[in-house]
Amino acid sequence: FSPDGAYIAVASNIGVWLYDAKTGRELALLATDSHWAHAVVFSPDGTKLAGADGDTIQLWDFATRTNIATLDGHTGLIWSVVFSPDGTKLASVSIDKTVKLWEVETGKNINTLTGHVELPRSVAFSPDGTKLASGSIDKTIKLWEVETGKNITTLTGHTDRVESIAFSPDGTKLASGSADTTVGLWDVKTGKNIRTSGGTDNPSAGEQMLQIFARRAFKSVQHRSRVTSVAFSPDGTTLASGDTDGMVKLWDVSSGENMNTFHGPRGLSTSVAFSPDGTKLASSISGGYGTVEIWEVSTGKNINTIAGHLDGVNSIAFSPDGAKLATGLSVSQGVKLWEIETGKQVVTFSEKMGAVMSVAFSPDGATLASTPGAVGRIKLWDIETGRNIATLQGSRGWVWSVVFSPDGTRLASGSDDKNIRLWDVKTGENTATLRGHTNGVYSMVFSPDGTRFASGSKDKTVKLWNAETEKNIATFEGHTDEVRSVAFSPDGTRLASGSKDRTVKLWDVETGTDVDTLEGHRDWVWSVAFSPDGTKLASGSDNTVELWDVETGSHLDTFQGDGRALMSVAFSPDGTKLVSGSSTGPILVWEMSDFIE
């Protein structure tokens, strides 16, 4: 929840979602670099959001929904982030086994805390900001002094990994949720046992576990699966815990009694959070139905369900004849084929191996290529039968882009491993691996005559390659952040590139000159596309598609989306339609008749 209780932020596998807490209406998607956002948190004053994005932390301005900083320093996936009570610091935990402290204003890493022997999964500041707690797969909870980074104490007692931790509002207690299916309550100052109903007056020597809820004879109140989230009510009298069966429990902190149990949909993990006034509880499921449930605490009534978005669209492509549209899905992991005229779905090509980042038709329209996520493969499909006719293997990590040569005999792909691969479509053989980029390759495109191809990379550059010799013939530099998309003009004289720096650049292919920089987007530019006659350029970002005059660089129009990140744009072959795919599924089609002379 936001500090005022008006908004809910949800971390998902395609970014961070913002919702209206009262109506459940979706407001925006904040895009993440790695797509997977593992955690999200509001700053105490509600002006900022921090999200765990791969091995980096993204900071967003809440009012403008724009990215204001990227904190880089961890060497592995970040599991959790949290603001200090005064909002000046951030803490994060990562699979690199460290806890890092960051200065929010500068983005500087001010301390790195080491001591866990396995990765920490959760982190929390004490209400006064002087202490930090971290819970780990090593089954322990560590308390740290924020000022010095000193490990004050280590709490042991859980028999499996610690998934979640939370301080009580007065800072005297710490709650923990564990994969051992229990919820633990700890005295922060002394570690001594607190007498509770069903507890023990005589803990064993050295025992630091104060109370484990649900370890009772009444099995009906037990969690039966991993407890992945715990949260105190604002007044500190109630504790909520959520597990991987979709069960949420409310506990009386004083007595340890189970006050209520809510049953949500089953999923990979449940996250729980109280509204600032304590009257509502939100629980979310990741990896299952993708839903957020809103509960009334006093009655246990489910007052709202925010439905999950199961078919986000990462990539779109028109068939050469313009009759069909292919969409690469981000969550349900497949490719859908649609009839443009009727809007009906024709067929689904099942992928089951990861989000589909790129789709491309062969020039004759008979074959479709798709890249199923992180498995490093390219799949070729027969359009008529829907059959998988070949699987091209060899890339490592995410394959971000795939494109056919104009004659249809070759494929080019760009991947996370910094390499470009060329493939023989007929045999499936990897005929060449081109090296030169210093980071992942996000986008690939052949020139219309097939003599060259261009690549856009996370290293902020665009490279031009000779298709025959497979040599790098030019490198275009000028973007200040990663290049997400590249496109040739129909006559092959211009190259457009869209970047995370929020700009679109037009390049002269022969000279490498930066001809124009188109500015106006408020967030990353995910996709660029030339109109078939080459006079216009479309760029997709935040919640808009911008239309530009290629000759003058002037802005022609803005097409508003429906609040979601527009990941892909494409013109129909006859130029009469412009289509965009959003991160949550809706495919928007705009008529371009007003712009055709």
Q: What is the pLDDT of residue 352?
A: 58
Across 416-554, where does the E strand assignment appear?
420-424, 430-434, 441-446, 452-457, 462-466, 472-476, 483-488, 494-499, 503-508, 514-519, 525-530, 536-541, 544-549
Q: Which of 256, 289, 306 is the last residue of a domain?
A: 306
Mean pLDDT of 539-549: 87
Lowest average pLDDT, out of 25-34, 82-91, 126-135, goes to 25-34
Cβ-contact 206, 227 below 8 angstroms: no
Q: Which of 269, 285, 306 is the last residue of a domain?
A: 306
Q: Is residue 440 located within the same domain as residue 296?
A: no
The highest-confidence range among 27-36, 160-169, 272-281, 352-361, by mean pLDDT, is 160-169
Cβ-contact 376, 399 below 8 angstroms: yes
pLDDT, one tens digit per residue, over 476-517 is 999 999 999 999 999 999 999 999 999 999 999 999 999 999
Can you give the residue range of the structural domain that contains 186?
82-306
| Model confidence band, residue 197 (pLDDT cutoffs 50, 70, 90) | very low
Cβ-contact 548, 539 below 8 angstroms: yes
pLDDT, one tens digit per residue, over 47-104 is 999 999 889 999 999 998 888 999 999 998 898 999 999 999 999 999 999 999 999 9
Assess if residue 339 is contained within a domain: no
Phi, psi of 219 (to 5 degrees): -65, -20
The answer on pLDDT for 168 being more than 80 is yes
Assess if residue 262 is contained within a domain: yes
Assess if residue 40 is contained within a domain: no
Cβ-contact 497, 528 below 8 angstroms: yes
> Residue 3: how many CB atoms within 10 A of its CB?
13
Three-state SS at 10: strand
Sheet holding 227-232, edge to edge: 227-232, 238-243, 247-252, 258-263
Assess if residue 149 is contained within a domain: yes
Q: Which of 245, 273, 306 is the last residue of a domain?
A: 306
Assess if residue 586 is contained within a domain: yes
The token pair at 49 is 């959001």
Q: State how many domains the chain has.
A: 2
Q: Which residues contact 253 (CB under 8 A, 6 or more apart)?
A: 168, 173, 185, 232, 236, 237, 238, 239
CA atoms of 461 and 476, how far apart (whole Å): 6
CA atoms of 134 and 124, how far apart (whole Å): 7
The answer on pLDDT for 137 being more than 70 is yes
Assess if residue 122 is contained within a domain: yes
Give me the CATH number covering residue 581. Answer: 2.130.10.10
Assess if residue 65 is contained within a domain: no
pLDDT, one tens digit per residue, over 260-311 is 888 766 554 567 888 878 888 888 765 444 566 778 888 888 877 665 444 5
